[in-house]
Amino acid sequence: MPELADPSLMRTQAFVAGEWRDADETIPIVDPGKNEPFTEVASCTAAEAEEAIDAAEKVLPEWQEKTAEDRCAILAELHQLIRDNEEDLAKILTLEHGKPLDQARGEIRYANSFVKWFAEEGRRAYGDLIPSADAAKRLLVFRQPVGITVGITPWNFPSAMITRKLAPALAVGCTFALKPAQKTPLSALALAALCERAGVPAGVVSVIPSSSASAISKPWLEDFRVRKLSFTGSTEIGKKLYEGAGETIKKISLELGGNAPFLVFDDADIDAAVDGIMKAKFRNAGQSCVAANRFIVSKAIHDELVEKLKKRIEDEVVVGYGFDEGVTLGPLIDEVAVSKVERLVGQATDAGAEVVVGGKRHDAGLNYFQPTLMTGVDPKMDLTCEEIFGPVIPVMSFEDESEAIRMANDTPFGLASYFYSQDLARVWRVSEALEYGMVGVNTGLVSNAAAPFGGIKASGQGREGSRYGLEDWTELKYVAMGGLG
């Protein structure tokens, strides 16, 4: 294991009601780069999930009564602690996830940007004074915290997916219990340790790792005291949680699967588009819900763009262990993920698609796949209908703008989309026509703490980040105040 400046950040106990706890069972944590277990983490049960809510209920009045200034001061301290421990947090992340260390550092900074944003934005949960038709009345609207909240996060961004939920929840006065991904709980537990150091009162935050997601989510869904659930993960699981939350009429935020199109029009800056593709696909080895999944390129520039992409991949993408110098593409999370990518590529080639670069497992180890570029891809292939979650670029071509938009929208998903064009009128037309919650124009990166992150259709509901994300952790209260005449 890598040496940490502060070894106490490598936590393997659960954090329940302000206490660090062992459990009767443990979860083996595997280094994907070496495919070897390196530690074990406490595996909680429904009892710990319920205890976290009991503790949250007890401390909720105290936490809500704090001023926004006081809560945000604690978040500001958490932000500084994350900055001070950035390298250790990045090493923990690379160890349990596999992404190259430099990308792990980038994720920690990105995760911390939400802490900073909401440490500032939490002071601005504004309300309204509505003009009244009755001179003896005043009509007030203000925001109050939802109350006890819970989150369930995925393995692909084990720090950032937490802070996007944790920071706004704490900023407005909610308590927050978290079930992190089974494969990557160490980043979550390290953040819990820093919350404790920052002065978050006991019980306000709990982190409940478990080998059984249903064992933790079931009591949370059934408990009426839990007023909001925020989930990032697959659409299939999101549907089940959505249904379960209906039993107690909870607020629910769902950031689910994607099938992001990346359109390149004939008036695009091709070199800039290629640069955007490299960022939108190979960051995190393609294991991102906003990773570009389908590349829809004008026939007029198809061959030129493919040739430039081929050269960039061959010259720049370095596959290897996340801690090795110069590596830009690490392993996938496990062998199951590799097998899925292998299946999708194999089916496409069997159906007539051509592999330009890559197309096979990489000899770096069991969990590695070659960076892959394919042409001759049909829109109906599984490769373009399923979320790849791997380093594969399937290229299709189109004749005109209307065809490109139709191809881009031909999916039940609606999270992120991207396109390149230098025609200002086209930029407006296509931005408005794409059925997605987020659109990147002449950029391959859309995530920003100041912007609302989220999708439509089968990609979920609700937003994270920005003032809109803050509002998702509040309830509106209307007060009609009479007798003032």
Question: Is the pLDDT at 454 greater than 90, yes or no?
Answer: yes
Alpha helices in 85-234 (DSSP H): 86-97, 101-121, 160-172, 186-198, 213-222
- What's the farthest any 2 CA atoms get from each other in the chain? 81
Pick the catalytic residue from 51, 196, 255, 387: 255
Measured CA angle at 319 (ends 340, 90), to 5 deg: 95
Report d(CA 482, CA 139) in Å as an integer.
9
Question: What percent of the chain lies above the pLDDT cut of 70?
Answer: 100
CB atoms within 10 A of CB 332: 26
The per-residue pLDDT for range 272-329, each reduced to its tens digit, is 999 999 999 999 999 999 999 999 999 999 999 999 999 999 999 999 999 999 999 9
In whole angstroms, how far apart are CA 40 and each of 21, 332, 372? 13, 20, 34
Overall average pLDDT of the 372-396 stretch: 97
Question: Is the pLDDT at 479 greater than 90, yes or no?
Answer: yes
Report d(CA 283, CA 309) in Å as an integer.
15
Report d(CA 51, CA 16) in Å as an integer.
7
50 is catalytic: no
Sign of the CA dihedral with 193 first, then 198, 202, and 205 last: negative
Report d(CA 63, CA 447) in Å as an integer.
30
User: Is residue 35 a contact partner of residue 361, using CB atoms and an 8 Å limit?
Assistant: no
Residue-wise DSSP of 76-105: HHHHHHHHHTHHHHHHHHHHHH---HHHHH
What is the reported pLDDT for 328? 98
3-state helix, strand, coil in the chain (%, to 5): 40, 25, 35
The per-residue pLDDT for range 47-88, each reduced to its tens digit, is 999 999 999 999 999 999 999 999 999 999 999 999 999 999
The per-residue pLDDT for range 237-261, each reduced to its tens digit, is 999 999 999 999 999 999 999 999 9
Question: Is the pLDDT at 447 greater than 90, yes or no?
Answer: yes
- Tokens for 388? 């790849």
Amino acid at site 264: V
Measured N-to-C along each axis, helices 101-121 and 160-172 cross at an angle, to the nearest 10 degrees, of 10
For the chain, state the CA radius of gyration.
Answer: 23
464 is catalytic: no
What's 7-256+459-479's CATH class?
Answer: alpha beta
Question: Is the pLDDT at 1 greater than 90, yes or no?
Answer: no
List the domain boundaries for the chain.
7-256+459-479, 260-448
The per-residue pLDDT for range 388-422, each reduced to its tens digit, is 999 999 999 999 999 999 999 999 999 999 999 99
Pick the catalytic residue from 44, 72, 174, 289: 289
What is the reported pLDDT for 260? 98
- 8-state DSSP, 122: G
What is the reported pLDDT for 400? 97
Among 433, 64, 128, 56, residue whose Cα is nearest residue 263: 433
Question: What percent of the chain lies above the pLDDT cut of 90?
Answer: 99
Measured CA angle at 375 (ends 407, 358), to 5 deg: 130
The per-residue pLDDT for range 151-197, each reduced to its tens digit, is 999 999 999 999 999 999 999 999 999 999 999 999 999 999 999 99
User: Is residue 164 a contact partner of residue 139, using CB atoms and an 8 Å limit?
Assistant: no
Task: Name the CATH architecture for the domain at 260-448.
Answer: 3-Layer(aba) Sandwich (3.40)
Residue-wise DSSP of 244-299: HHGGGT-EEEEE----EEEEE-TTS-HHHHHHHHHHHHHGGGG-STTSEEEEEEET
What is the reported pLDDT for 85? 98
Residue listed under structure tokens 């801690």: 323
What is the reported pLDDT for 368? 98
Question: Is the pLDDT at 481 greater than 90, yes or no?
Answer: yes
**430: Cα separation from own chain's centroid:** 25
Element (H, E) at 395: strand 392-398
* Residue 18 phi, psi (nearest 5): 85, 10
Kindly report each contact of residues 425-433 with a partner whose C-beta sits within 8 Å and lies 24 or more positions away, as own/partner.
426/265, 426/267, 426/401, 429/401, 430/263, 430/401, 430/404, 430/405, 433/405, 433/409
What is the reported pLDDT for 485? 82
CB atoms within 10 A of CB 445: 13
Sequence-distant (≥ 6) Cβ neighbours of residue 152 within 8 angstroms: 178, 179, 213, 216, 217, 229, 230, 231, 232, 233, 241
Overall average pLDDT of the 430-452 stretch: 97
